Amino acid sequence: MSYTQTGPPWKKQLYEMVEHRYFTRVIISLIFFNAVIVGLETSPAIYEEYKTLFFRLDMVLLWIFTVEIIMRLLAAPSYKHFFTSSWNWFDLIIVSASHIFVGAHFITVLRILRVLRVFRAVSVIPSLRRLVDALLMTIPALGNIILLMSIIFYIFAVTGTMLFREVAPEYFGTLGLSLLTLFQVVTLESWASGVMWPIYNEMPWSWIYFVSFVLVGTFVIFNLFIGVIVNNVEKVETSGEEVKDTHKEVTELREEVRELKQLLEKQLKREN
């Protein structure tokens, strides 16, 4: 039985209100409005001139978000049900911390929390929430890939330090510098013009080292990352569709039971 059908009537009405698409759209609009305000505050000229206005708008938005969370908490069938969602925890922590730091006058921390409030758009929009859940699901699966990538980085870093320490000490002078250089190479950011060609002019065979690392580190490992993420996203989407199908089947079954109950009542009335 859906929990919207149990409890006092006001709870059901409150649940329908907070789950209504217009209510969600209003909250999303306010979140993006908060994002615009935070962006404008980064301009010293604008912020100094309208500091009081920014503060009042922030207080209004903070209390609106507070009331929204209280409404969702009261609409839940129980406190336990509400706190089983990690997204509800995230919303509650952000809003609560904002109230705390407003009272303590920690302006810098408060501005950071205002930026984090923008991330609440993820918790409000279901499609974004499913996407983030899929990304979080990939963390355990990425363990072996990260280990493999660490081994490859370490082998190439040690090799590069031994081969190119004298030629390019600014890139391969130490093991730490070698790891940092390889991170630049694996991102394909100026790796050829900035790193490889100066060394190639001194050691023409050095291209073998860089090309092999790019092939292994970028095209193989990164594709493994992408493959795992795409696979988990597909799993989340599939599970979401299954939940929708199950909910539809339950709704249809309830409708059939209701019609059968009406037929039985009519039949009993005729017999009486």
Distance CA 51, CA 174 (A): 49
Residues 172 and 110 placed together within one structural domain of the fold: no
Q: What pLDDT was estimated at residue 239?
A: 62
The burial of 184, by beta-carbon neighbours within 10 Å (0-12 exposed, 13-18 middle, 19 or more buried), is given as middle
CA-based nearest residue to 156, from 137, 132, 183:
183
Which range of residues forms the domain containing residue 25? 3-124
Q: What pLDDT was estimated at residue 1?
A: 39
Q: What pLDDT was estimated at residue 213?
A: 92
Distance CA 200, CA 202 (A): 5
Residues 16 and 115 placed together within one structural domain of the fold: yes
Residues 151 and 233 placed together within one structural domain of the fold: yes
Q: How wide is the angle at C-alpha 155 spanned by C-alphas 154 and 156, nearest 5°?
A: 95
How many domains is the chain partitioned into structurally?
A: 2
Residues 104 and 141 placed together within one structural domain of the fold: no
Residues 173 and 151 placed together within one structural domain of the fold: yes
114: domain CATH number is 1.20.120.350
Residues 129 and 264 placed together within one structural domain of the fold: yes
Segment 48-89, tens digit of pLDDT: 888 888 888 888 888 888 898 888 888 887 778 788 887 788
Q: How wide is the angle at C-alpha 42 spanned by C-alphas 37 and 48, nearest 5°?
A: 85
DSSP per residue, the chain: --GGGSS-HHHHHHHHHHTSHHHHHHHHHHHHHHHHHHHHHTSHHHHHHTHHHHHHHHHHHHHHHHHHHHHHHHHSS-HHHHHT-HHHHHHHHHHHHHHHHHHHT-HHHHHHHHHHHHTHHHHHSHHHHHHHHHHHHHHHHTHHHHHHHHHHHHHHHHHHHHHHTTT-HHHHSSHHHHHHHHHHHHTTSSHIIIIIHHHHHH-GGGHHHHHHHHIIIIIIIHHHHHHHHHHHHHHHHHHHHHHHHHHHHHHHHHHHHHHHHHHHHHHHHHH-
Q: What pLDDT was estimated at residue 98?
A: 75
Residues 129 and 191 placed together within one structural domain of the fold: yes
Is the distance from CB of 199 to CB of 206 less than 8 angstroms? yes
Residues 145 and 257 placed together within one structural domain of the fold: yes
Residues 108 and 184 placed together within one structural domain of the fold: no
Residues 136 and 83 placed together within one structural domain of the fold: no
The domain boundary residue, chosen from 69, 89, 124: 124
Residues 132 and 217 placed together within one structural domain of the fold: yes
157: domain CATH number is 1.10.287.70
The domain boundary residue, chosen from 124, 152, 183: 124
Model confidence, pTM: 0.55
Is the distance from CB of 82 to CB of 72 less than 8 angstroms? yes
Q: What pLDDT was estimated at residue 83?
A: 84
Residues 139 and 220 placed together within one structural domain of the fold: yes
The domain boundary residue, chosen from 92, 124, 156: 124
Residues of the chain below pLDDT 50: 1-5
Is the distance from CB of 175 to CB of 155 less than 8 angstroms? no
